[in-house]
Copies of this chain bind each other. A is one copy, B any other.
Amino acid sequence: MSGRAARTRERILATSLALFNDLGEPRVTTNQIADETDISPGNLYYHFHNKDDIVHCLFERFESRIQEILVTPQSRAADMEDMWLYLHLIFEVIWEYRFLYRDLPHLLGRDRKLQQRFRRIIDRKVATAAAILEGLVSSGVMAASPEEIQAVAENIALLATQWLTFQQLRHRAAPLDQQLGRGVYQVISLVVPYLRGEARTLLDRLSRVYLV
């Protein structure tokens, strides 16, 4: 592919992502994408056969981004900073590809392959969260049984995955970036009661940062 064609392809993807995120993927047509990218429908078709092609390509990028994050620190036990970083990065990627998360049953219901791949991502979310929590226990910051760790890890994955959908159900009007900060706060609140000593007052401090 020529440099120019590659650049056009990138522009199509960036425009599609922006339109999908703003309007919801079902409401966007390929003609609209061509129009916004300032190319002809024929040129768009040269790069992508249909909208599903574009969705798949964006999903692949989302997938490789989130898989980079969902790697447990190997050399040492995880600490609260890993937890923070993990959550911030997760919510950042979810925000960047929010059209995927807003209506998952719709998007995955029509494509079994995407569904399987998304399922694997959720499994990784649970496993990474559990590994970090185990790290917190072994470094003495947190007190929890293996059953409790498993239950909290599942709840973390559920909350991170379903947060945007739930916010949309609750108050469609609120700016989504505020909702995202609140999402991090809610996930942290799953872990806080298991923390020992000083770390236990974390939620109070957080509420001042996130809930303004």
Contact = CB atoms under 8 A, between A and B. Distances in A.
Contacts of A169: 104-105, 108, 115, 118-119, 122, 161
Nearest to A171: B119
Nearest to A24: B109
Q: What copy number does this chain have within its complex?
A: 2
Interface residues of A, number: 42
Interface in A174-199: 185-186, 189-190, 192-194
Contacts of A144: 193
A204 B147 contact: yes
Interface of A: 102-106, 108-109, 115, 118-119, 122-123, 144-145, 147-148, 151-152, 154-155, 158-159, 161-163, 165-166, 168-172, 185-186, 189-190, 192-194, 203-204, 207
17 contacts: A102-B105, A105-B165, A105-B169, A115-B172, A119-B170, A119-B171, A147-B203, A147-B207, A148-B192, A148-B203, A151-B189, A155-B186, A158-B163, A158-B166, A161-B166, A162-B165, A190-B190
